[in-house]
Amino acid sequence: MLPPEASCDIEVIADGSPRIVVDGEVVWAGGVVEDLVAGFEQWLYRAALEQHQGRFGVFHAAALVSDGATVVFSGPSGAGKSSLALAAVRRGWKYFSDEFVVTDGQRVWGWPRAIRFDPTEPGTPCPDYLRDLDTDDDAVESQQDVAPPYYAVAGDALQRAACSAREVRFVSVERGTHTTLSHVSTSVGLKYWTEAAFFEPTMSLGSLVGLGRTWRASWRHPEELIDMIATA
């Protein structure tokens, strides 16, 4: 979507002292081999955020595309962004991201990755909507009846082009005992966007909000909320 502007040499060393070296500098060390993927991801996201700061707005949110409109889900950790992203992908929506949403004020896109889930509490049954996910058995070990940590989105399900900021629908989500969806004002919508930002955006967010384009939602089952949004 954007031409590369920089390059670097990366070494991932999986020996008795696992470490990640970028341009000769150790950027991660002190863990075990099994932590290398998570360590690399943390470094990659930090580096990308540094590159984006001052040029783009970056938000802690999920984003999916349906019928040309981008639906953004935002909320604190545990609010269910990943579960909603999975439900939308299974419905045929195109996947942008379940963690990072980027904008230049006029366009919106995501940083695609495998959809991640927090492990369920010991002794807690896996939710029905997380059962039977396709996972990479070589990279992931999931005990029976425990939610797998991630779901790899198929390539043909990815959204590969930035979308117009004026086609964005924003949904602030939280878990609840019932599934509800209600419109909020544009000023509240702007507040939600600002709260989701990793750093203060340097561009106007005005194109991202508009009458009838922002909701507050509570959900019991992700399919219920996706149904509501699809018909809203």
Helix (H) or strand (E) holding 116: strand 115-116
Q: What is the average pLDDT score of the chain?
A: 87
Same domain, 99 and 164: yes
pLDDT tens, 97-143?
Answer: 999 999 999 999 998 888 888 766 666 667 777 776 665 554 444 45
Residue 77 has pLDDT above 70, yes or no: yes
What number is the average pLDDT over the span 80-87? 93
Same domain, 15 and 107: no
* Whole-number pLDDT of residue 144: 46
Helix (H) or strand (E) holding 181: strand 180-183
Q: Tell me if residue 183 falls in helix, strand or coil.
A: strand
Domain of residue 88 covers 57-112+153-231
* Whole-number pLDDT of residue 121: 61
Same domain, 168 and 202: yes
Determine what percent of the chain is predicted with pLDDT higher than 70: 89
- The residue ranking higher by pLDDT, 49 or 139, is 49
Q: Is residue 179 part of a domain?
A: yes
The total number of structural domains that make up the chain: 2
How is 12-43 classified by DSSP, letter by letter?
Answer: EE-SSS-EEEETTEEEEESS-GGGHHHHHHHH
Under the banding of pLDDT at 50, 70 and 90, the label for residue 13 is very high
Residue 191 has pLDDT above 90, yes or no: yes
Q: What is the largest CA-CA distance in the chain?
A: 57
What number is the average pLDDT over the span 64-84? 92
Q: Is residue 159 part of a domain?
A: yes
How is 59-103 classified by DSSP, letter by letter?
Answer: EEEEEEEETTEEEEEE-STTSSHHHHHHHHHHTTPEEEESSEEEE
Rounded Cα gap, residues 157 and 138, in angstroms: 23
User: Could you tell me the pTM of the whole model?
Assistant: 0.83
Among candidate residues 152, 156, 120, 125, the one with its CA nearest the CA of residue 138: 152
Same domain, 158 and 182: yes
What number is the average pLDDT over the span 187-200? 94
Rounded Cα gap, residues 143 and 208, in angstroms: 42
Residue 1 has pLDDT above 80, yes or no: no
Q: Is residue 145 part of a domain?
A: no
Q: Is residue 133 part of a domain?
A: no
Residue 5 has pLDDT above 80, yes or no: no
Which CATH number is 172's domain given?
3.40.50
- The residue ranking higher by pLDDT, 8 or 214, is 214
Among candidate residues 45, 3, 40, the one with its CA nearest the CA of residue 22: 40
Same domain, 93 and 32: no
Same domain, 183 and 209: yes
